[in-house]
Amino acid sequence: MEGVLNSQQIDQFITEGFIRIDHAFSAEIAGQARDILWNDLSLDRNNPATWTRPVIRQGMYAQGPFVASANTPVLHAAFDRLVGAGKWLPCRSMGTFPVRFPSDEDPGDAGWHVDASFPGNDPANFLDWRVNIHSKGRGLLMLFLYSDVGEHDAPTRIRVGSHMDVARALAPEGETGLSFMELAGKLDSMPEREIVWATGKAGTVYLCHPFIVHAAQAHQGTEPKFMAQPPLLLCEDLTVEGASPVERAIKEALVQIS
């Protein structure tokens, strides 16, 4: 599986901040995961009249289909290539799931942001969680599609290359970094970037740099969207001088302003 990502994909990850892997896990596994989620939603999957909210967040899932989806040979090989062999922890759960339904109502969670990776003074306050220049605790942001996601099905929006802007904003903040809200407050002043939508068939996975700026959007399609957005957790800290593509992207961003 060493050739799972070619040099062009690695270069894309460094410069654009993400890559898409089709068929990262099987459609059968995706279907099994959806069945579990539907059961917990307590809605009629065949009656859209029961889908009365734009988004319902489901908790952590550690059942077999979820663990299997995150631990395929293709994904493990990609993690080794992007983060470094021996530096990441296998995913043993998925969640939370923001299940999105067709709706004209504002979902209320569609703002641009960067996912935080380590706790601040109050670990229970997610808005106080932090991000630093070394991406402490997080090797990747990952988007796992458990349903087919077209352009009308609330695909996640990604700002291409925005991980570079975020690295430059974090560099002066040292080990302490910025809180989720502090960093969110800086995003509007960053350079305008091309926006792409994370579409794909069930079984598609987007592997994103942990600094990538992204956002949800309203669902304008007909079928609910099932997606998980777990981190790839680290067992060994990253450094700006490291050789992995995640680390190289950070270093290149800082070299450009030196």
User: What is the structure's pLDDT at 3?
Assistant: 61
pLDDT tens, position by position, for the chain (258 residues)?
456 899 999 999 999 999 999 999 999 999 999 999 999 998 999 999 999 999 999 989 999 999 999 999 999 999 999 999 999 999 999 978 999 999 999 999 999 999 999 988 888 888 889 999 999 999 999 999 999 999 999 999 999 999 999 999 999 999 999 999 999 999 999 999 999 999 999 999 999 999 999 999 999 999 999 999 999 999 988 999 999 999 999 999 998 765
User: What is the structure's pLDDT at 139?
Assistant: 97
Which tokens sit at 130? 């932090």
11 occurs within a structural domain? yes
196 occurs within a structural domain? yes
User: What is the structure's pLDDT at 258?
Assistant: 52
For the chain, list the strands marked E by DSSP: 18-21, 55-58, 97-100, 130-131, 138-145, 157-159, 178-179, 195-197, 205-208, 214-215, 227-228, 231-233
Residue 56: partners with Cβ closer than 8 Å, 6 or more residues away? 41, 98, 99, 101
Q: How far is CA 57 from the centre of its chain?
A: 16
Q: How far is CA 73 from CA 25, 47, 70, in A?
A: 9, 37, 9
Task: Tell me the C-alpha distance between 258 and 244, whole Å.
Answer: 21
243 occurs within a structural domain? yes
User: What is the structure's pLDDT at 236?
Assistant: 87
Domain harbouring 64, CATH code: 2.60.120.330
Which tokens sit at 147? 């349903």
**Where in the sequence is the domain holding 115, given as residue range(s)?**
7-255
Residue type present at position 103: S
148 occurs within a structural domain? yes
Which tokens sit at 158? 């990604």
The answer to whether 226 and 99 have CB atoms below 8 angstroms apart is yes
2 occurs within a structural domain? no
For 91-211, list the strands marked E by DSSP: 97-100, 130-131, 138-145, 157-159, 178-179, 195-197, 205-208
Q: For residue 233, with 0-12 CB atoms within 10 Å meaning exposed, 13-18 middle and 19 or more buried, which class applies?
A: middle
The answer to whether 110 and 216 have CB atoms below 8 angstroms apart is yes
1 occurs within a structural domain? no
Query: How many domains does the chain divide into?
Result: 1
Q: Nearest-CA neighbor of 225 among 158, 156, 153?
A: 153
Q: Which of 159-183 are b and which e, b meaning 16 or more Cβ less than 10 Å from the residue's Cβ? A: bbbbbbbbbbbbbeeeeebbbbebb
